[in-house]
Amino acid sequence: MAAVRAPPAGECPTVRAICVSRFSHTPPGTIRETCRHAGQRIQKGRIDDIPEDDMPADDMPVMTSEPVQIWVVSDGTAGMRMQAVALADALMRARTDWACEEFTVAPHGVVRALPRLAGWLPGLPLCAAADSQLHRLPHAGQFPDIMITCGRRMAGFALALRRRARAAGTPMRIVHIQDPRVAPRLFDALVVPRHDRARGPNVLVTTGSLNRLTLGTIQRAMMEMPSRWLGAARRTAVAVMLGGDNRRYRVNDGMAAAMGARLAEFATANDAQLILLASRRTPAGLVERITAALPANRVMLPRDDEPNIYPGILGLAQATIVTADSVNMASEAAISGKPVMIAPWRAATPDNPSGEAGRIRAFHDAMFAAGHTVPLGATIPSGPFERLDEMDGLAERLLELLGR
């Protein structure tokens, strides 16, 4: 493999020949691993000063001589990474000849703290010093046609890398997910949930969080589930998706006891088999405490020695209960079109059945109003439920916005 020259000052501190994940037009969840070296795809030029008013690339020519290359760049945060990957997936379903690579970086503190300045001032460092075994860094002197980032921490990195791309003569476009807390016009496109405040002519608004699930992937995953789960379908199977600790509150013993009691009443009233699924944020011991509160013959748990049953369980279950702390899980469950019930951790009221506050409450209120979800009650509602299906439509709107 050819040697890679050292990056110029201000670039990522560690750049070397690396393996990258290149997505092809395959079902979501399938990643084909290929290896390529950090060779030059374009001629790197010097960094010239670019006036701030010239930052949006609406009038820059779109290069079409090569297949469109997408980069998904994240700081490794699971929720942020998956939303960016989901958007790339949707774009490649619409444009089957496009390709995508994924990178993980640690944005430098300067570009994190001063994102507006990062897109204007040349020479600012992009990345913090990091162990190269933990961070997969974009190729030096090479830029994609479209870069997708997510979360406030990545906004400055996106603006800074686009500045370098333009100085090198590449009309790279940046698509950022979630409100970056700087002017939307600084980006080529923003994709924000309805409960975020950012709005503008280049802002695309969604109801739920972005995810890779489709009705087809749910159904295929259901068919691949271990045979023991098929028995659950003979009863009223209800998936229970547990979130957990978050920036707003921690799930304490009182919350866990109240949730367990409520789920036990629900299982008995509906003669239901509850299938408990933990998330990354579920605190240690929570599943055990809730399981102990349920009748022994009313609960099923995944086993360590079997394949991941998610998302197949969304196809198997007749309904789903999601704890109110999770926007992502509620969005994913609503893809099924089946009853999705939101269970609050904190005290709920008729005016605020989710028990949440701020942006999370606004999300749930919108989902309730649109018929995607309902507050958890004593019985499974009969519906109808409006299936949340946004990704392909979002991709088409984004392609139109980018002139692709």
What's the pLDDT tens digit per position in 87-126? 999 999 999 999 999 999 888 888 888 887 777 766 777 8
- Residue that wins the pLDDT comparison between 31 and 385: 385
Average pLDDT of the residues of the chain: 83
Residues contacting residue 105 through CB under 8 Å, at least 6 positions apart: 12, 73, 74, 75, 126, 127, 130, 135, 136, 137, 138, 157
- Name the least confident of 43-47, 239-243, 326-330: 43-47
Reply yes or no on whether the pLDDT at 2 is more than 90: no
- Name the least confident of 49-58, 68-77, 324-333, 382-391: 49-58
Reply yes or no on whether the pLDDT at 204 is more than 50: yes
Which amino acid, one-letter code, is at 93?
R
* C-alpha distance across the termini of the chain, in Å: 34
Length of the chain: 404
215-375: CATH architecture: 3-Layer(aba) Sandwich (3.40)
Reply yes or no on whether the pLDDT at 57 is more than 50: no
Could you give the percent of the chain with pLDDT greater than 70?
Answer: 81
Tokens at residue 35, please?
């290896």
pTM of the model: 0.78
pLDDT tens digit string along 376-401? 999 999 878 999 999 999 999 999 99
Indicate where the chain has its CATH 3.40.50.720 domain(s): 215-375
Q: What is the mean pLDDT of residues 72-85?
A: 92
β-bridge partners, 319: 238
Q: Using CA atoms, how far apart are residues 309 and 222, in angstroms rounded to an integer?
A: 8
Query: How would residue 29 be classed by pLDDT, with cut points 50, 70 and 90?
Result: very low
CA atoms within 13 A on the CB side of 132: 11
Q: Using CA atoms, how far apart are residues 359 and 376, in angstroms rounded to an integer?
A: 20
Q: Using CA atoms, how far apart are residues 246 and 226, in angstroms rounded to an integer?
A: 32
- Residue 136, pLDDT score: 64
Residue 236, phi then psi, degrees to nearest 5: -80, 95
Residue 13, phi then psi, degrees to nearest 5: -70, -25
pLDDT tens digit string along 214-272? 999 999 999 999 888 887 777 899 999 999 999 999 999 999 999 999 999 999 999 99
Contact 4, 140 (CB under 8 A): yes
Q: Using CA atoms, how far apart are residues 94 and 202, in angstroms rounded to an integer?
A: 20
Reply yes or no on whether the pLDDT at 327 is more than 80: yes
Q: Using CA atoms, how far apart are residues 276 and 241, in angstroms rounded to an integer?
A: 6
Tokens at residue 248, please?
């707003």
- Residue 54, pLDDT score: 40
- Residue 139, pLDDT score: 74
